[in-house]
Chain A
Amino acid sequence: MSARTRSERRLGWLLCAPAAIAMLAVTAYPIGYALVLSVQQVDLRFPDEGGFVGFQNYSAVLTSSLWWTDVFNTVFLSVVSVTIELALGMAIALVMHRAIFGRGVVRTSVLIPYGIVTVVAAFSWQFAFAPDTGFVNQLPLISDDMDWFGGRFSSFAVIIMAEVWKTTPFMALLLLAGLTTIDDGLYDAAKVDGASAWQRFTKITLPLMKPAILVALLFRTLDAFRIFDTIFIMTAGAQNTESVSILGYNQLISRLNLGLGSAVSVLIFIAVLIIALIFVKGLGARQPEGGRV
């Protein structure tokens, strides 16, 4: 190895070290610490009790109906909102790509939800649907005294609406970036061969966009799975609308039960790993790279 390669290596490591340390300090170490806490009885309200309890916290979580309700809620909200986002995002991306005029206007409007603080958006939608302040119940076809946050699935409808509003722009921009990589000549050739617009979409656009779609889906699914802000503001988990992140927060911060809460944290971490593995191995999503490596 030449001196030059060796010094280049050293410089590379030196430049990456601060960022690597900063990233590991608040992920690898805490998740390790969470593993340690999760096999102990640690309750800050009863600091004198404690000690190793093995998998007792895990079995307490996994046998509670609350955990499974929250898992269902989280999966349900993720699947429904990501599906709607994909369909809407694809429509907006196609519209932006084939813009007759006003492409700038669409891009400007889709960036507004991206820039808004999630908590603010959640408040705005909550006030819009609330029976006392909201304008939604005054709309035609909607009952004047509809209590949106009084039921589980009507709450979900509002939560999904807020999530879709906030994150569709990101989806649309990722998909648009994928669309622009497709060679227009392919469409012209297909047209000459007599393919309909729908055939061109399903036989050219979708297959060629598969990598972009999978990356967008992976990012959005993992993001949707950690849903916290919107639910916290809108229902705080009332009417059985709790997500797994809200459950973790309640155990850790509200009840100060670090042992049980850490077991929840570790289980969420494992769930996220499984989702990522399904995407990467099962569907063949590749690690996005900033170009050649």
Chain B
Amino acid sequence: MAHTAREKTLWSIGLLVVVLFALIPVIWIISLSLKTPATITDQSFFPTEFSLENYKGLFEGGISDSPFIKPLINSLLIASITTVISIVLASFAAYAIARLEFPGRRLMLAGALAIAMFPPISTVGPLFDMWRTLGLYDTYPGLIIPYLTFSLPLAIYTLVAFFREIPWELEQAAQVDGATPFQAFRKVIVPLAAPGMFTAAILVFIFAWNDFLFAISLTSSDASRTVPAALAFFTGDSQFTQPTGNIAAAAVLVTVPIIIFVLFFQRRIVAGLTAGAVKG
């Protein structure tokens, strides 16, 4: 199809608008984080004086006094543990749903969908009360358990869609060719299933990394508070200074790795986000 110069110009403008709109808040928070305390309220989009002061402030005092290091460790560990457990449990369920005939298969899918729509705020009060009784309040498991619940539907749907595409006959073919069942599984099925599991893992990690409601409701200290919750409790150096610069710096540190990750694996993420939603 031939395109006129006018079409190409219009198209370029449209592209530019979309890219700018997506990038502005990111560039803005980076630029804010690089401003000096004196110029942070100068209202200019780009910094006039650069400084790393805001970043230094995050790490001062080491692990015990820094407002950022412990929450960052908590976030990384909690999101990673959630991802591993969620993918293992979801893989079992998705394998069964994709490959086995058993009553309750549709119920499992419908149930997972219902959980995905469940309002988390409705569980926060009871969990708060139960966790205090069980000693899970302000602990890692106290956050990992609810994250598992709400990430499993996402993982199961993504994995079922991927697993249905796997040519499982290859497993038998390998066995006919003399491979042991374990070899057939490891050399044939694992490489075929790995991309889907990896995609589901990215989506679950981003979900757990992003959560705020459970993180502020079920924690009370740096023992298990994650970065999004810690950001909301940042205070300035004195009661008269706003923590704007430090929040911006912390925001950049938790955002940039995820953005790089997302951009690197964008094809997989798109495939995962749309899996199961199309073929009705």
Q: With a CB–CB cut-off of 8 A, which chain A residues contact B247?
A: 123
- Indicate if B52 sits at the interface (CB-CB under 8 A): no
Verify if B72 is at the interface (C-beta below 8 Å from A). no
Nearest A-chain residue to B123, judged by Cβ: A30
A37/B126 in contact, CB under 8 A: yes
Nearest CB on A from B236, distance (A): 13
Q: Which of A21-29, A58-66, A75-83, A197-205 contacts B (4 or more CB under 8 A)?
A: A21-29
Chain A residues 65 to 108 lying within 8 A of chain B, measured CB to CB, are: 92, 95, 100-102, 105-108
**Interfacial chain B residues near A289, Cβ < 8 Å:** 109, 276, 279-280
**B-side interface size class:** 35 or more
Given contacts A289-B109, A290-B276, contact A272 B92 (CB under 8 A): no
Binding site of B, secondary structure by majority: helix, strand, loop or mixed?
Answer: helix
Chain A, range 145-192, C-beta contacts under 8 Å to B = 165, 169-170, 173-174, 176-178, 180-181
Q: Which residues of B contact A3 (CB under 8 A)?
A: none
Is A52 positioned at the interface, with any CB of B under 8 Å from its CB? no
Known contacts A15-B96, A127-B244, A268-B119, A120 near B129 by CB under 8 Å = no
Task: Count residues on chain A whose CB falls below 8 Å from chain B CBs.
Answer: 101
Q: B278 an interface residue at 8 Å Cβ cutoff?
A: yes
Chain A residues within 8 Å of B160, by CB: 290
Closest to B44 in A: A135
Q: How far is the CA of A69 from the CA of B68 in the complex (A)?
A: 36
Known contacts A112-B23, A266-B122; A135 and B28 CB within 8 A of each other: yes
A31 touches B122 (CB 8 A): yes
- B-chain residues with CB within 8 Å of residue A176 when the two chains form the complex: 274
Which residue of the partner chain, among A92, A118, A133, A288, contacts B40 with CB atoms under 8 Å?
Answer: A133
A162→B43 CA distance, assembly (Å): 19
Give the residue of B119, B206, B262, B275 whose beta carbon is less than 8 angstroms from that of A272. Answer: B119
Which B positions have Cβ atoms within 8 angstroms of A? 3, 7-8, 11, 14-15, 18-19, 21-26, 28-29, 32, 40-41, 43-45, 89-90, 92-93, 95-98, 100-106, 108-113, 115-130, 145-146, 148-150, 152-153, 156-157, 160-161, 164, 206, 209-210, 212-213, 216-217, 227-228, 231-232, 242, 244, 247-248, 251, 254-255, 258-259, 261-263, 266, 269-270, 273-280
User: Which A residues are closer than 8 A to B by beta carbons?
Assistant: 5, 8-9, 11-13, 15-16, 18-20, 22-23, 25-27, 29-31, 33-34, 37, 92, 95, 100-102, 105-121, 123-125, 127-128, 132-135, 137-138, 165, 169-170, 173-174, 176-178, 180-181, 211-212, 215-216, 218-219, 222, 225-226, 228-229, 232-233, 244-245, 248-249, 252-253, 258, 261-262, 265-266, 268-269, 272, 276, 286-293
A selection of 20 A-B contacts at a CB cut-off of 8 Å is A18-B92, A19-B93, A27-B118, A30-B123, A34-B123, A138-B43, A215-B280, A228-B213, A229-B228, A233-B232, A248-B124, A249-B216, A252-B124, A253-B128, A253-B216, A253-B217, A269-B122, A276-B117, A290-B98, A291-B279
